Amino acid sequence: MKMQKIRNFCIIAHIDHGKSTLADRLLQFTNTVTDREMQDQLLDNMDLERERGITIKSHAIQMKYPYQGEEYTLNLIDTPGHVDFSYEVSRSIAACEGALLIVDASQGIEAQTISNLYLAIGHDLEIIPVLNKIDLPGAEPEVVAEEVMDLIGCDREDIILASGKEGIGIEDILNAVVERVPSPKGDEEAPLQAMIFDSVYNPFRGVEVLFRIFNGKIQKGDRIKFVNTGKEYEADEIGVLGIQQKPQESMYAGNVGYLISGIKVAKEVKVGDTITHVKRPCSQTIKGFENVKPMVFAGIYPVDTTDFEELRASMEKLQLNDASLVWEPETSAALGFGFRCGFLGMLHMEIIQERLEREFDMTVITTVPSVQFRALMNNDKINLINAPSDMPEANLFKHIEEPFVKASIITAADYVGPVIQLCMEKRGQIKNQVYLTADRVELSFDMPLAEIVFDFFDKLKTISRGYASLDYELIGFRQSHMVRLDVMLNGEPVDALSAIVHRDKAYEWGKRLCEKLKELVPRQMFEIAIQAAIGTKVIARETVKALRKNVLAKCYGGDISRKRKLLEKQKKGKKRMRQVGNVEVPQEAFMAVLKLD
Amino acid sequence: MAGIYIHIPFCKQACHYCDFHFSTSLDLKTKLIDMLNKELITRREYLGRAGIVRTIYFGGGTPSLLTPLELGRIMDTITEQYQLDLQEITLEANPDDLNPMLLAAYKSIGINRLSLGIQSFHDEVLRFYNRAHDQSQSLRIIEMAKEAGFEKLSIDLIYGYPYPNHKLWKKDLEIALSKNPGHISSYALTLEPKTVLENWAKKGVFSPASEDFVAEQYEWLLDQTEAEGYLAYEISNFARPTELALHNSNYWKGVPYLGIGPSAHSFDGQHRGHNIPNNPKYIKEMQKRGTAHTPEILSAEESANDYILTSLRTIWGLDRDIFYDKTGRDIYQEKIKELDWLSQNQWITIKDKNIYLSRKGKLLADDIASRLFF
């Protein structure tokens, strides 16, 4: 296969702008998938992804497309659509020469799309703008086209009008891919240099590595090496990706494919790593490799303390196919044995929690999510703080630093006021304000990551009636006055409810948390004092009055069995509660902090 | 020692709070009474050798819907079939069913204790409950019963009717105590499944009184009965020291009893069991296999919990030795942490081999019992 006949491209789109449907049409049009095999949103094959309408893990698929009497090979590389996975997006982009920029003709460009678009432009990708959903009554192709032209500096006639749903513009898109996306460049005779852009876990075959060859060729049975991990393998099977995998004897520079080499653990496969031959290694690795670092940390505990070992086994299995999930055992006085987990972001955290529930039938309690703070100690050492319990004593450190991000928000002009107000409440500093069109504005803020991971995105959606979009990138650590806020029930600290918060917000936080707990902790045989404290200083207090009466008056003869069963059932229910001192705390109370409004 | 309970599953009308088994249709009455007599014969062996019957209790439903003749027939069957040493024969009765002639007739067939379903001395409350009687009938019937020579008299009262203050309840209790009954059973108004009240509560047309309000009325009940010399021998039962209800006490003390009639429960000293709670089905079962009883086999833990639950409610308390005999377990050892904590907080008192609820413990009896459950 000649490199001139290969096109590698990806799709950049905002959630629900119709990427998956459009991709389906491309596959159907090229007969890559038969109607019988056709399922809606073919690329999103995890249930979870389909329900959320987003692609969590990227995949790739190869199409054959005849154009002016020649057959072209089109490799479509799918990209995840959420900020939590921006590193994976960057690697997918690095594997391509072109990108379809898909924009909903009724909604315009969103913040996440812009950041991915810039990423693509930064990698010199040829951008093919596509206005999707032009069949919708609310579509404003002219307005949105203006926006796109401003953004990427293209001409009006470069923009393709399409509707995935109606099958409009599909052929135009395929033709544009062939005509406009440059063919890959590389040297088939040079030492093997391929980049891993994704991996898929297959319980029967081990980890399937998805790669793009930049130089050289790879043959079945070759001894190969992953440069960054230093691990060596045998290429048991290589091939290209259709709806089914198609094994190949050899593959050449410019192509995209999969590799199976008996790897059991996802952690060994690092996205962005370089594959080369053991005997004749390439002299340079592919640029841009990073070890993915968790951004958000939280404790995960089994609801039933006896399920700890089962939870550990489930987490280990999850880690097999999700290398970005990191964890270590943690003990909480209130929740027992569990795990301190690191996630790429809040969505990632939710996904892990849901996967634990769906795939492993584990019900878990997740504690207050936190970012990683740094304490500059008196001896000038830096201590990392991943959990409230890591917070050093006040007299042992000079100051605390917290991660800041540059957040860009695109919103309708009508909502600029409320958005700015929200960001200020979240300790943001406004840095820039640009009108993309007459009524769409891009706002930039410097904000603490800790404020964003919490409930910021939900709030942003609410105040902008769902229209604002958000993207952010880490810009470093800044000194902040953070304190640890503890919660006590009848004087007993509840470690699982502690949180690191900014001093200026501690009072409000403490007050709201105490109020919320008062609603959730049921009346018991004694009065319960709920207190929030910084160090030894109590800053908020609520009281749950003692239960006055808990006795069924009518109880004789036959009622006894019924009543015994009732009480036995209640007692079982209580077992699911957690004991703090003598106070019984229901599960929901530990989640209360996640929803304080 | 043993007791026989006979369930009369008929009522003139349905009280809005009641979830006991009854029918307001009397069509099957004659057939059903036949079956009660039959069951008394077919289940004769249930009480075993130790079962000398000391107490009989006609409950319901509304036993006073049976004529003295019908009751007399049942009494005859019992006399023929059982070893007797009868000390107490109770009839539950509604004030609107009774008159001096009937009372005399009941007395003549051996009834020596009346339990009167008064519930309240306020007509508006009685109407709300859908009771068939009014205040004046209640007052008259108490006098009538005394005149007819029923020395053992019990009055049923319900507290916890939602009202802005405690005036109604205080008045109810004042009138009841002024009549000087030997025995008072008093229950809180509770929302039972599939009752009119529960339905009203679901629809939002009725909202039950707060927990605190009901607790205050119960405390008032404890105070007033104690001041008048009544013994609070069980959570909801109060009696002059010589008039403790023998039959009911035996429920709490773990004495065997045989339950006859639809929905009636039985206890053979170890296991419990119940009859089918449906009149036509009861009749059919009785005709087909001579019994409508389903035994309930209690596990060791359930047996233990059963005893904890019942014994704690009484003035006699939970007896460590009896518990050991029943279960082979030493509750003092196995529940030492819980017992310590409960007694430190003065919800229970432990005296030698007995555990008793304290006054404030009585209000939380369910919570306390379940903390001691196995």
From the list B190, B259, B341, the residue facing A554 with the nearest CB is: B190
Q: How confident is the model over B299-338, as pLDDT tens digits?
A: 999 999 999 999 999 999 999 999 999 899 999 999 999 9
* Cα–Cα distance measured from residue B199 to residue B70, given in angstroms and rounded to the nearest whole number: 36
Q: Chain A contact for B218, CB < 8 A?
A: yes
Neighbouring residues of B289: CB distance < 8 A, sequence distance ≥ 6: none
Q: Which chain B residues have a beta carbon less than 8 Å from that of A558?
A: 259, 263-265, 272, 274
Q: Chain A contact for B51, CB < 8 A?
A: no
Q: Do B369 and A557 touch (CB under 8 A)?
A: no
Neighbouring residues of A556: CB distance < 8 A, sequence distance ≥ 6: B248, B251
Q: What is the CA A93 to chain-centroid distance, rounded? A: 17
Structure tokens at B311: 């014994």
The CATH number that domain B2-252 falls under is 3.20.20.70
* Cα–Cα distance measured from residue B354 to residue B332, given in angstroms and rounded to the nearest whole number: 10
Q: Do B309 and A526 touch (CB under 8 A)?
A: no
Q: Which of A526, A550, A556 to mutate to test binding with chain B, by most B CBs within 10 Å of its CB?
A: A556
Structure tokens at A409: 């928000």
Question: Can you spell out the DSSP letters for B123-161?
Answer: HHHHHHHT-S--HHHHHHHHHHHHHTT--EEEEEEEE--
Q: Chain B contact for A557, CB < 8 A?
A: yes
Please choose, from the candidates B307, B306, B302, B313, the residue with its C-alpha nearest in 3D space to the C-alpha of residue B348: B313
Min Cα distance B150 → chain A (Å) is 24
pTM: 0.71
* Cα–Cα distance measured from residue A392 to residue A383, given in angstroms and rounded to the nearest whole number: 9
Question: Can you spell out the DSSP letters for A487-503?
Answer: EEETTEE-GGG-EEEEH
**Pairing label, strands A326-332, A336-343:** antiparallel
Q: Which chain B residues have a beta carbon less than 8 Å from that of A567?
A: 305, 309, 366, 369-370, 373
Other beta carbons within 10 Å of A359: 14
Please choose, from the candidates A71, A141, A79, the residue with its C-alpha nearest in 3D space to the C-alpha of residue A115: A79
Helix (H) or strand (E) holding A93, with range, is helix A86-94
A36 secondary structure, DSSP code: T
Please choose, from the candidates B373, B371, B336, B342, the residue with its C-alpha nearest in 3D space to the C-alpha of residue B358: B342
Q: A-B interface: how many C-beta pairs under 8 angstroms?
A: 97
Structure tokens at B338: 């819980």
B272 in Cβ contact with B306 (< 8 Å): yes
* Cα–Cα distance measured from residue B364 to residue B189, given in angstroms and rounded to the nearest whole number: 17
Give the chain A residue whose CA is nearest to the CA of B249. A556
* Cα–Cα distance measured from residue A221 to residue B56, given in angstroms and rounded to the nearest whole number: 91
The ipTM assigned to this model is: 0.87
Q: Give contacts of A 280-309 with B, CB under 8 A.
A: none
Q: Give contacts of B 236-295 with A, CB under 8 A.
A: 236, 248, 251, 257, 259, 263-265, 272, 274
Task: State residue A52's pLDDT score.
Answer: 42
* Cα–Cα distance measured from residue A408 to residue A445, given in angstroms and rounded to the nearest whole number: 6
Upper half-sphere CA count for residue B267 (Cβ side, 13 Å): 27
Q: Is the dihedral of CA B233, B234, B238, B243 positive or negative?
A: negative
Q: Is the dihedral of CA A586, A588, A592, A594 positive or negative?
A: positive
Structure tokens at A435: 């009108």
Q: Which chain A residues have a beta carbon less than 8 Å from that of B312?
A: none
The CATH number that domain B300-372 falls under is 1.10.10.920
Question: What are residue A73's phi and psi, to 5 degrees?
Answer: -105, 115
Neighbouring residues of B175: CB distance < 8 A, sequence distance ≥ 6: B121, B139
Q: Chain A contact for B1, CB < 8 A?
A: no
Q: Do A550 and B367 touch (CB under 8 A)?
A: yes
Low-confidence ranges of chain B (pLDDT < 50): none
Instruction: Read off the amino acid at residue A268.
Output: E
Q: Which chain A residues have a beta carbon less than 8 Å from that of B306?
A: 560-561, 564
A258 in Cβ contact with A209 (< 8 Å): yes
A596 in Cβ contact with A516 (< 8 Å): yes
**Pairing label, strands B152-159, B113-119:** parallel
Min Cα distance A553 → chain B (Å) is 5
Q: Which of B6, B247, B251, B374 to mutate to test binding with chain A, by most A CBs within 10 Å of its CB?
A: B251
Min Cα distance B22 → chain A (Å) is 15
Low-confidence ranges of chain A (pLDDT < 70): 1, 35-58, 81-83, 553, 555-558, 596-597
Neighbouring residues of A269: CB distance < 8 A, sequence distance ≥ 6: A196, A199, A207, A209, A226, A263, A323
Please choose, from the candidates B28, B38, B5, B17, the residue with its C-alpha nearest in 3D space to the C-alpha of residue B280: B28
In this prediction, what percent of chain A has a pLDDT beyond 70?
93
Q: What residues are paired with A224 via a beta bridge?
A: A233, A277
Give the chain A residue whose CA is nearest to the CA of B235. A553
* Cα–Cα distance measured from residue B331 to residue B320, given in angstroms and rounded to the nearest whole number: 7
Instruction: Read off the amino acid at residue A586.
Output: P
Neighbouring residues of A492: CB distance < 8 A, sequence distance ≥ 6: A580, A581, A583
Question: Can you spell out the DSSP letters for B18-34?
Answer: --S--BS--TTHHHHHH
From the list A525, A567, A570, the residue facing B364 with the nearest CB is: A525
Q: Which chain A residues have a beta carbon less than 8 Å from that of B257?
A: 557
* Cα–Cα distance measured from residue A574 to residue A550, given in angstroms and rounded to the nearest whole number: 15
Min Cα distance B89 → chain A (Å) is 16
Q: Where are the domains of chain B?
A: 2-252, 300-372
From the list A547, A558, A568, the residue facing B259 with the nearest CB is: A558
From the list B313, B365, B373, the residue facing A571 with the nearest CB is: B373
Structure tokens at A436: 């993309």
Q: What residues are paired with A502 via a beta bridge?
A: A482
* Cα–Cα distance measured from residue A43 to residue A26, given in angstroms and rounded to the nearest whole number: 12
Q: Chain B contact for A563, CB < 8 A?
A: yes
